[in-house]
């Protein structure tokens, strides 16, 4: 079900100045409640609602939202696969995807971060937390503290340690030494300002190195960069080093 009359043409992204949101959840009460809250908030526009992953992919292409609130477990197409497809196909600027989940340590959330989601939001978050999260993510921030990302990555990287994998660092060979340093500190949970202080460079330079590293690795979010750093041995789980 969309937030517009059937067949109406989607407005251009960002045309009203409001944050344009697509709400995706197969549970109608949760979806309707979230959508109602967003519609009542100043500066928010619910451009569409989707009850499943396939519908979410189609509506994301049609409406080009700024932010997508994405449920993980859905019967037709998981939120993880839907996120991958949406971000792969979206013209820039790609939407920011927030996954909705019941637990903050969940292998599905980890997979969603690998797929490029900007963060996650617990389904029992209060109304103000939800609105603040949508606003923050629309502005380019991540939804969760770096320490939470690191804890999540460490928990599920340990599970994968026994599985065969590529030689450590193989995927990182294209990075310069400075890009590797910035990526390592990012994975340790440092902010750009903290990395700048650690390396005695400007925040702008930190951002440039991180963006270049992410571009070389084909990543679209800071959370993805953290996951890649752990999976390639740049940071050892449980040590932060």
Q: How far apart are alpha carbons 155 and 153 in whole angstroms?
A: 5
Query: Does pLDDT of 162 surpass 60?
Result: no
Tokens 């997508």 belong to 68
164-220 residue pLDDT tens? 555 555 679 999 999 999 999 988 878 888 999 999 999 999 999 999 999 999 887
Q: What is the pLDDT of residue 146?
A: 58
Q: What is the pLDDT of residue 119?
A: 78
Structure tokens at 155: 């928990």
Residue closest to 68 by CA, chosen among 41, 36, 28, 35: 35
Torsion angle in degrees (nearest 10) through CA of 8, 11, 16, 21: 80
81-139 residue pLDDT tens? 999 999 988 988 899 999 888 766 667 777 877 888 887 888 888 899 899 889 988 98
Find the mean pLDDT for residues 222-241.
77
Q: What is the pLDDT of residue 24?
A: 97
More confident residue, 37 or 150: 37
Query: Rounded to two decimals, what is the model's pTM?
Result: 0.70
More confident residue, 93 or 41: 41
Query: Does pLDDT of 45 surpass 90?
Result: yes
Q: How far apart are alpha carbons 118 and 132 in whole angstroms?
A: 14
What are the residues whose beta carbons fall under 8 Å from the beta carbon of 240, sequence distance 6 or more? 150, 188, 189
Q: Average per-residue pLDDT in the chain?
A: 83
Q: What is the pLDDT of residue 77?
A: 93
Q: What is the pLDDT of residue 10?
A: 38
Q: What is the pLDDT of residue 183?
A: 95
Query: Does pLDDT of 11 surpass 50?
Result: no
Query: Does pLDDT of 58 surpass 50?
Result: yes
More confident residue, 2 or 43: 43
Question: In 72-199, where does DSSP find H-type helix?
Answer: 79-89, 107-115, 127-138, 146-160, 177-187, 192-199
Q: What is the pLDDT of residue 104?
A: 63
Q: What is the pLDDT of residue 222?
A: 81
Q: What is the pLDDT of residue 43?
A: 96
Query: Does pLDDT of 23 surpass 80?
Result: yes
């Amino acid at each position: 079900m969309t937030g517009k009359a059937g067949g109406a043409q989607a407005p251009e992204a960002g045309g009203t100045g409001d944050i344009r949101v697509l709400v995706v959840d197969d549970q109608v009460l949760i979806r309707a409640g979230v959508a109602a809250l967003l519609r009542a908030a100043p500066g928010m526009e619910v451009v569409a609602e989707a009850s499943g992953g396939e519908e979410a992919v189609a509506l994301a292409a049609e409406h080009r939202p700024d932010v997508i609130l994405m449920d993980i477990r859905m019967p037709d197409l998981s939120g993880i696969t839907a996120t991958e497809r949406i971000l792969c196909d979206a013209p820039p600027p790609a939407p920011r995807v927030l996954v909705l989940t019941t637990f903050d340590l969940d292998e599905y959330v980890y997979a969603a971060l690998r797929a490029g989601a900007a963060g996650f939001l617990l389904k029992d978050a209060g109304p103000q937390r939800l609105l603040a999260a949508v606003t923050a993510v629309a502005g380019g921030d991540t939804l969760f503290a770096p320490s939470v990302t690191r804890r999540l990555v460490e928990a599920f990287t340990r599970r994968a340690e026994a599985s065969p994998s590529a030689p450590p660092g193989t995927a990182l060979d294209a990075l310069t030494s400075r890009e590797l340093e910035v990526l390592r500190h990012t994975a340790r949970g440092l902010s750009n300002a903290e990395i700048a202080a650690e390396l005695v460079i400007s925040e702008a330079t930190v951002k440039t190195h991180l963006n270049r590293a992410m571009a070389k690795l084909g990543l679209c979010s800071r959370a993805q960069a953290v996951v890649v750093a752990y999976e390639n041995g740049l940071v050892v789980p449980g040590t932060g080093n």
